[in-house]
C-alpha cells in the first residue's frame, strides 16, 4: 500500500456558513412530509462558537441580524445543502483493503478474505497507514462519526485512535475479541482480551472525542468464558459500548445454536452474559425472531441496518417494517468491507431497495413501513446518534451540539443537476440525493467547526 499523508483541519474555526440548512429534530416516522420533525431554511445559516459548538441555525436574514454578523465572518455555500455529518453505525476498518472481494457468503467470506486481511494489523506501522486511509475515506464521504471494528490486535486500535485523535474525530471503536473458531494468529484468550481491553479503555476511552466499544466478533468466535469477560467489561466502566453481530446469515445462526444449545435464541446468547442493553449495537439482525425484536426494544439496544453488505453476501432482507413497529433504535451501517461503499448515499439507496423488496416478498397483512427520504436521512444523522446514545452531542443543529457538518452539492454530477431541475419539493430533492449522489457531492466537511482538508494518497 502507498504511504498516506495525514489529513488535517484548518486552523481557524468557521464563524458561520450560509446555504440550504436542513436537519431532523425528531424521528419522522414514515410520513411523506413530516413538517413537525425537521427544519429547513432554503436560505439559511449555521452559526458556531469559538469552541466549535453550534450556537444557532435558522433563516439567514434573521440570524445575521441577531448576531450582527459581517460578510467576512460568513462562508457562502448558497446553492448547497448544509447537513449534520453522517454517522456510520457499523464498519470494519481492517477490511477496507478487501472491499468488493468476489463470490462468497458470510462464513466462507470471513475465512477466505477477512481473516487473512486482518492478520496484518499486528504491525502498528501498517495499521497506522491504513487508519489514515480509512479515516480519510470516511470523511471524503461525509461520515464524521463511526462505530468501528478493529482487528484482534491491540495495536490496530491504538493506531486507529492515534490517527482519529489528530483529527479531533468523535469515533467509537474496539479490539475484536475471538478465542475460538478462527485462525490461530487471530485468537486471543479471555485473559489477554481482558488485559488488552482494560489497557485500551484506560488509554483512550473519553480521551477528547474518542469512546471505546467492547467488541466480541460474534458468538461463534467467543467462548462462554470470553463472553463473560465481555459482560464484566461492559458493565464495569461508564458509558462503554458493546458492538457485535447477530442473525446475519442462516448458517451462522445454526452454528450459534450448536455452540450455545441452551440459549433461547441467538440474541439471548448475548443477553445471558449481560450484553444487551443501552449502548449495545447489533449489526444486521436479518433473521431475528419475534422474541428477539421484543428483547431489543425492552432493553433499549440498537440495530445497525447494513444493506449493501446484506445484499453483497446474499444474507437476506432486513425487516424494516418490524423494527418500525417495535420502535427499536436503528442506524445505518456501511459494513465495509462486506459492504460495498463508504457512502451513506449508497447505503440509503440500497436500504430503500431492500425495504421495497422485503415488502414484495413478504405479503404480510398490516401497515407496511416505507423508507421515506426523511426517514433515511434521519437514520444517517439524528437516528444514528440516538442509536449510539449521542443525540445530546450529534445529529442535529440545535444549540450546544458539536459542530460536525457537511456541505452537499446537489448538482455535483450532470445527472444530478439535470434531475434536480424536475424536483418540486424538499422530499423529492432529498430522495434524488439518496439515490444518485456519491462522494462527489460532498463539497466540504467540518469537524467541530474546522474544515477538513484531505491529504495526498
> Which pLDDT does position 131 carry in this prediction?
98
pLDDT over threshold 90, residue 311? yes
- Could you tell me the pTM of the whole model? 0.96
Task: Give the C-alpha separation, 451 to 94, whole Å.
Answer: 26
> Is residue 37's pLDDT more than 70?
yes
What's the rounded mean pLDDT across residues 140-167?
A: 98
Q: Could you report the per-residue pLDDT of 435-456, keeping only the tens digit for each?
A: 999 999 999 999 999 999 886 4
Residue given cell 485468537 in the structure block: 187
- Residue 62 neighbours by CB under 8 Å, 6+ apart: none
Percentage above 90 pLDDT, the chain? 90
Q: Quote the CA–CA distance of 244 and 302 in Å, as a whole number.
A: 11
Question: What are the tens digits of pLDDT across the range 394-429?
Answer: 999 999 999 999 999 999 999 999 999 999 999 999
Provide mean pLDDT across the span 351-363.
89
pLDDT for the residue 92: 97
Is 12 or 18 the better-scoring residue by pLDDT? 18
Instruction: For residues 243-262, give the mean pLDDT.
Output: 97
Q: Could you tell me which residue, 323 or 367, shows the higher pLDDT? A: 323
The three-point CA angle 350-356-357 to 5° equals 90
Residue 46 near residue 397, CB atoms below 8 Å: yes
Work out the burial of residue 183: count CB atoms within 10 Å of its CB; fewer than 13 is exposed, 13-18 middle, 19 or more buried.
middle
Mean pLDDT of the chain: 95
> Which of 44, 82, 73, 138 shows the shortest CA–CA distance to 334?
138
Across residues 141-170, what is the average pLDDT?
Answer: 98
Nearest residue to 403 (alpha-carbon basis) of 144, 135, 206, 212 = 144
Rounded CA gap, 404 and 160, in Å? 19
- Write down the pLDDT at residue 361: 82
Domains of the chain: 8-85+396-453 (2.30.40.10), 86-387 (3.20.20.140)
- Please write the tens of the pLDDT for every residue from 100-138: 999 889 889 999 999 999 999 999 999 999 999 999 999
- pLDDT for position 456: 43
- Residue whose C-alpha is closest to residue 174's, from 204, 144, 136: 204
pLDDT on residue 121:
96
The burial of 250, by beta-carbon neighbours within 10 Å (0-12 exposed, 13-18 middle, 19 or more buried), is given as: middle
Amino acid at each position: 500500500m502507498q504511504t498516506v499523508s495525514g489529513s488535517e483541519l484548518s486552523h481557524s474555526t468557521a464563524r458561520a456558513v450560509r446555504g440550504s440548512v436542513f436537519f431532523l429534530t425528531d424521528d419522522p416516522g414514515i410520513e411523506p412530509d413530516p413538517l413537525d420533525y425537521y427544519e429547513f431554511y432554503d436560505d439559511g445559516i449555521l452559526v458556531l462558537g469559538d469552541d466549535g459548538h453550534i450556537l444557532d441555525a435558522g433563516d439567514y436574514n434573521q440570524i445575521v441580524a441577531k448576531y450582527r454578523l459581517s460578510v467576512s465572518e460568513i462562508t457562502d455555500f448558497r446553492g448547497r445543502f448544509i447537513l449534520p455529518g453522517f454517522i456510520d453505525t457499523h464498519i470494519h476498518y481492517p477490511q477496507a483493503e478487501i472491499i468488493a472481494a468476489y463470490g462468497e457468503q458470510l462464513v466462507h467470506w470471513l475465512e477466505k478474505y477477512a481473516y487473512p486481511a486482518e492478520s496484518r494489523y499486528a504491525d502498528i506501522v501498517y495499521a497506522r497507514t491504513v487508519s489514515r486511509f480509512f479515516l480519510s475515506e470516511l470523511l471524503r464521504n461525509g461520515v464524521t462519526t463511526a462505530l468501528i471494528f478493529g482487528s484482534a490486535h491491540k495495536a490496530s486500535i491504538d493506531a486507529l485512535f492515534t490517527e482519529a485523535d489528530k483529527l479531533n474525530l468523535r469515533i467509537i471503536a474496539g479490539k475484536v475479541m475471538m478465542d475460538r473458531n478462527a485462525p490461530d494468529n487471530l485468537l486471543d484468550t479471555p485473559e489477554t482480551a481482558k488485559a488488552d481491553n482494560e489497557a485500551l479503555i484506560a488509554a483512550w476511552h473519553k480521551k477528547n472525542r474518542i469512546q471505546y466499544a467492547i467488541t466480541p466478533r460474534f458468538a461463534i468466535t467467543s467462548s462462554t468464558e470470553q463472553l463473560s469477560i465481555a459482560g464484566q467489561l461492559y458493565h464495569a466502566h461508564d458509558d462503554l459500548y458493546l458492538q457485535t453481530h447477530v442473525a446475519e446469515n442462516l448458517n451462522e445462526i445454526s452454528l450459534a445454536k450448536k455452540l450455545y444449545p441452551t440459549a433461547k435464541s441467538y440474541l439471548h446468547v448475548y443477553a445471558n452474559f449481560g450484553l444487551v442493553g443501552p449502548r449495545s449495537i447489533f449489526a444486521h439482525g436479518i433473521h431475528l425472531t419475534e422474541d428477539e425484536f421484543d428483547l431489543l426494544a425492552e432493553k433499549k439496544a440498537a440495530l445497525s441496518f447494513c444493506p449493501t453488505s446484506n445484499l453483497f453476501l446474499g444474507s437476506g432482507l432486513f425487516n424494516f417494517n418490524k423494527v418500525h413497529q417495535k420502535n427499536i433504535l436503528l442506524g445505518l451501517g456501511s459494513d465495509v468491507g462486506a459492504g460495498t461503499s463508504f457512502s451513506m448515499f449508497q447505503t440509503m439507496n440500497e436500504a430503500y431497495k431492500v425495504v421495497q423488496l422485503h415488502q414484495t416478498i413478504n405479503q404480510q397483512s398490516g401497515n407496511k413501513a416505507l423508507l421515506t427520504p426523511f426517514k433515511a436521512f434521519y437514520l444517517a444523522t439524528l437516528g444514528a446518534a440516538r442509536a449510539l446514545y449521542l443525540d445530546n452531542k450529534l445529529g442535529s443543529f440545535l444549540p450546544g451540539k458539536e459542530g460536525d457538518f457537511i456541505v452537499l452539492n446537489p448538482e455535483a454530477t450532470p445527472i444530478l443537476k439535470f434531475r434536480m431541475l424536475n424536483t418540486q419539493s424538499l422530499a423529492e430533492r432529498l430522495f434524488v440525493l439518496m439515490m444518485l449522489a456519491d462522494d462527489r457531492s460532498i463539497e466540504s466537511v467540518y469537524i467541530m467547526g474546522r474544515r477538513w482538508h484531505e491529504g495526498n494518497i
